[in-house]
A and B are shown apart, each in its own frame.
Chain A
């Protein structure tokens, strides 16, 4: 058996096609890493995106501004609205698009600038204008000084006032319904205040920093979680799913903020490694299909299968050796891919990120679990293996039945590529019968860490049964056909 596998491997590694795919894989990996390094920020966003948009938007507004006459009574309101927007954009240009000022200019200065323009073009009130301009200068100075705390204190004060007001209203209100509504508002405001104070104490600005993003995500998802938890029993599947998502987000954001550890930084080696097999899956899929094409179909086509069949091995063993060979090639390719990523990513990003843990919320254990990058990667690859094994099985099955390279390569490829379309259609039109399709069940990654799958029709046990069923049926048919196959005369 081992001898057979060794011989099969020898055949494959003598073929050029496998090296071509590996070469492509390397090139793609290199390109991907360079792009991530050069053009993407920590959060996986394209660095120059907003800057480009800003320029475009400015040009558009300038053009629009020309259409309105500031001396015309009817058009002047429109004129100042556009002018205010333009002024804000011009201010924005002074700040980096990742800074908090960039994001907050609009919030803090829109009203003031609008009023300045108002007094300048509509009311023409010099006193008010100078007053507003002074006010504008104060705010602008604070922005330029990078004095985030000034604005934060302002917002806290505002929110405290609102809170007091709401509480007063609540005490005076008699209608239960309105009372409930007020209670809700008070709670939300409390959360906002809590977050604002947290920002003040920990100096977290509203910029593009990971801490801010985590905090924002926490605030957003915390509301969702609380909403569902107060509801008590969650009935709809979609709600359950959303609740899970939100809960996981809350826990992970909390972890990031508390530990001040950017675990989801994207432009580093760790992030590239986590989902490596999914990212480069098309190459692995192509390899699977090429390998079974070479060791099954080509052998039938060239007649070399006869050479193998008159050797002292049973047909069952020969078939099994071909299956194992495919698996070995896939594993070698995955290892190679990881090695490529480690080398390329190591050179481009450095290796430090490998120490950052991967944190996931495990719904079964109901707590956060820390994994090392490699542990996490192996778990994901393991959960993806049934898919790859299934694909190998299907392509060997087709190869043995049709003995045609074209069919056994293209058919699984088409099936694979349209797999997600089929899934979407099925869930859109609630076609429950589709749950018996293998591609509905072959991605066990959906079930990792106690998560619910995107589709309500299936669950973990069902998927395992379906997968096993397909394996058994396909293998039995393949085995019988291969065993009974007459090698046709050329």
Chain B
């Protein structure tokens, strides 16, 4: 393996009928990477993941996992991956322990590993309960335990934050960071909410309509996201002499696009000019905004 590349996706595409679902997608994952795979609903994230795992078949391109070609040597390639696709695939009528036992059996591992991973995901106390009785967060964690039980080089998680409470999300992030740094796993996490991923991924891939629009390092992303919209409720809107860039929403609201640091100065200026400010709201930068921004940047180039 050169340069620690563990997953290599080269120009894969998939067509269903006349519709191209995944269009020329290329991805690279190195050891220790946490890649955020972002896209709106229906962008083809899950399909791309399924193509990479051999659950669906691509029309063209190639996928290499751990140095093995997925098509030519499926068994060797797939044994380097652990994954949760859509939902954790669990047998509801079995206990957590039995679910994990199935995995150890299929990978030919010893049963000691079950308690080890159960501890790692924090399920050791409830491991003998039926999965039916688990909460969503516990199921998600059991799913991760299933996926990492054989110490894969690549861990692929499809929308793992769905339905988790903020604390669950935090725990999950800690766990994933630990896996990346300690076990040196390469992790791919998909989501349709950018804010979930921004502060722990070191790379972000944006998928729109089956195409990768942008593949960015986290620093670049931060830069892109630095400019934020603030909505101010003010007593007057004839501020052209005071401010350069702003947008009038209605009689009492204006929108300012700026960075955090500059906002303080703007507010100071406004106050000095006797403008009354009643409320300041940060407009959450939606994914669509980022996409628009990104695509706009591309067309401007």
Mark A residues whose CB is within 8 Å of B.
Answer: 3-4, 6-7, 10-11, 14-16, 302-314, 484, 486-487, 489-490
Contact = CB atoms under 8 A, between A and B. Distances in A.
Contacts of B108: 3
B24 interface: no
A312 B56 contact: no
Contacts of B75: 312-314
A275 B46 CA distance: 53
A363 B192 CA distance: 75
Given A11-B91, A14-B94, A307-B89, 10 more contacts: A4-B106, A15-B93, A306-B55, A308-B106, A310-B78, A311-B78, A311-B106, A312-B76, A484-B57, A490-B86
Contacts of A14: 91, 93-94, 98
B105 interface: yes
B81 interface: yes
A7 B53 contact: no
B267 interface: no
Nearest to A298: B91
B50 interface: yes
Closest 4 pairs (CB-CB, A-B): A312-B79, A307-B89, A486-B56, A487-B55
Contact of A6 (B81, B92, B105): B105
Interface in B94-113: 94, 98, 101-103, 105-108
Contacts of B91: 11, 14, 302, 304
B191 to A, nearest CB: 16
Contact of B56 (A6, A10, A11, A487): A487
Nearest to A2: B105
Contacts of A304: 89-91
Interface in B256-278: none
B contact patch SS: mixed
Contacts of B57: 484, 486
Given A10-B98, A14-B91, A489-B86, A310 B107 contact: no
B146 interface: yes
B55 A10 contact: no
Residue among B47, B94, B98, B105 having the largest count of chain A Cβ atoms under 10 Å:
B105
Contacts of B105: 3, 6-7
A307 B94 contact: no
A490 B105 CA distance: 27
Interface string B17-48: 00000000000000000000000000000110
B74 interface: yes
B55 A490 contact: no
Contacts of B86: 303, 306, 489-490
B114 interface: no
A14 B46 CA distance: 31
A3 B107 CA distance: 9
A309 B55 contact: yes
Nearest to B152: A310
Contacts of B76: 312
A302 B57 CA distance: 21
Given A10-B102, A489-B86, A310 B93 contact: no
A486 B56 CA distance: 4
26 contacts: A3-B105, A6-B105, A10-B98, A10-B101, A11-B91, A11-B94, A303-B86, A306-B85, A307-B89, A309-B55, A310-B81, A310-B85, A311-B103, A312-B75, A312-B76, A312-B79, A313-B75, A313-B106, A314-B75, A484-B57, A486-B55, A486-B57, A487-B50, A487-B55, A489-B47, A490-B86
A314 B75 CA distance: 7
Contact of A7 (B50, B92, B102): B102
A6 B90 CA distance: 17
Contacts of A310: 53-55, 78, 81, 83, 85
B87 interface: yes
Nearest to B44: A489
Contacts of A313: 75, 106
B13 to A, nearest CB: 14
B139 to A, nearest CB: 13
Contacts of A484: 57
Nearest to B90: A304
Nearest to B89: A307
Contact of B106 (A3, A15, A314, A489): A3
A14 B108 CA distance: 21
Contacts of A489: 46-47, 50, 86
A4 B107 CA distance: 10
B78 A490 contact: no
Nearest to B51: A486
B106 A7 contact: yes
A306 B55 CA distance: 7
Contacts of A303: 85-87, 89
A382 B251 CA distance: 89
A292 to B, nearest CB: 17
Contacts of B54: 309-310
A14 B98 CA distance: 10
Contacts of B55: 306, 309-310, 486-487
Interface string B55-93: 111000000000000000011101101010111011111
A483 to B, nearest CB: 10
Contacts of A486: 50, 55-57
Contacts of A307: 89, 103, 146
Contacts of B103: 307, 311
A490 B89 CA distance: 12
A490 B92 CA distance: 18
B229 to A, nearest CB: 34
A7 B104 CA distance: 10
B186 to A, nearest CB: 16
A124 B159 CA distance: 108
Contacts of A10: 98, 101-102
Contacts of A305: 89
Nearest to A303: B89
Interface centre among B53, B76, B94, B106 (most CB of A within 10 A): B106
Contacts of B78: 310-312
Nearest to B53: A310
Contacts of A7: 102, 105-106
Q: Name the residue among B47, B55, B86, B92 with the largest chain A CB count within 10 angstroms.
A: B55
A490 B88 CA distance: 12
A86 to B, nearest CB: 67
B252 to A, nearest CB: 46
Which interface residue of A6, A307, A311 has the most chain B CB atoms within 10 A? A307
